Structure 1
Amino acid sequence: MAHVIRQFYARGSIAEADTTLLRFTTLYSIGPRTAERAYNAGCRTLEDLTRQRSTVLSTHLGVVESLALLPDLVQKIPRAEVVQIADQIMHQLRAFLPQAFGTIAGSFRRGAPMSGDVDLVVTVDEDEVSPGDALARLVRELRASGRVTHTVSFARRTHAHSHTHGVVVAQLVYRATPTSVHRRVDIVFAARAQYGAALLGWTGSVLYERDLRRWARTRGYVFAATGVTRETDGALMSTPNEASV
């Protein structure tokens, strides 16, 4: 996509094909290469892409449901609504985990006036809390309240077979009120010892993450949004905050 950015600055506009490619990347799991393959296969709209290719939405929700949600999900989210959604989620989480806290990450944290989705990274100051179990309960309660309308995916990434370590991600479709537009929301529940790495990983741009991984390797570590490990033996390092990374 670098050539698209260069083209914009050189010409002041973007060719139709590149505009289509950029639009494709607004969908879950669609990166530049997948977008280009879809375009070469004849896809020209998000509807084409959803019908002809396996996207995260179409795989988990089905083509018909995905197409019904697309008009909402492609709309950008203003900062005030991002905060509203995050506040609602944290209120629901603190109802059963009072010590929980979280930070809005993604493009919102980088200062963007509008966001494509809401990325909320949460944790709790209790060592015995299972991130997977806690997030599963949170999603159930948000569904019961009517705010979560669809669960797109729920991925558990534990470390060393410990239920109290790991980073668990729920990709959801969310409505702040019954009449609100559907929004994409990713809730990232990290164990306290991995919160700093998760927050950095979900805040940074692709380029920032790449540079951070390179920097970590020069010091003998492997950085990922799921935690920092020692390269020699895979031991998980404690990164409870960003400064510790």
Structure 2
Amino acid sequence: MAGHSKWKNIQRRKNAQDAKRGKVFMKLAKDIYVAAKEGGGDPETNPSLRLMIEKAKSANMPNENIDRAVRKATGNLDGVSYEEIIYEGYGAGGTAIMVEILTDNKNRTAADVRHAFSKNDGNLGETGCVSFMFDRKGIISINREEVTLSEDDFMLEVIECGGEEYEVNEDTFDIYTEPDMFKEVKDQLVSKGYSISTSEMTMIPQTFASLGAEDTKKVLNLIDTLEDLDDVQEVFHNLEVDEEEYEEYVN
């Protein structure tokens, strides 16, 4: 549970950065495009597309943008075809980094990612070099005011719904699931009357790396550089940064 809390803090800061950069809609549109391209444009019969649309709506993405991404995928309006790639590597101090990519030009993207690693004292590695350090999990968040049960009773309800565990944060209860149970747990919680604030599939590090100030700054610079690339959808890492260190970095 403690590891999840560290991940949650990292994720919250990352999400805030994405929103500031104004790139979140573009990244979500690519996710919607790929989901619709692979499974069709009807969210009722395409769970991946339904999840991406829910994620987009929770980020206040306009319906027009969502519809346009679906139409492009199903009608090939712009002739663009995106490819999904995962790059793995190391930041300063041996920090594990995973980068999820959606690109229409993998040669361009490979060069951009490699350059981001090299200029920030990192190394792009082979497939599988760090992925074993992460667990793929579903995370479903429910606002705390939605839960009227005691924590013990809510824990039993989460288990009944198929969830692995949950943790209490300042504003939410976060339920963790195995990937193949993600949709079932979410549907079960909705059937019990809960409103889901956010839900997503993610990569949670098994262990975290705590570095000195200089190496921490290099890794944060690497993460920022990667997230600034248009083709990068997500950056997962195992760097542990406390609030004081992070505030010093951003300021």
TM-score by length of 2: 0.26
Q: Greater share of helix residues, 1 or 2?
A: 2
1 or 2 for the larger relative contact order (CA 8 Å, sep ≥6)? 2
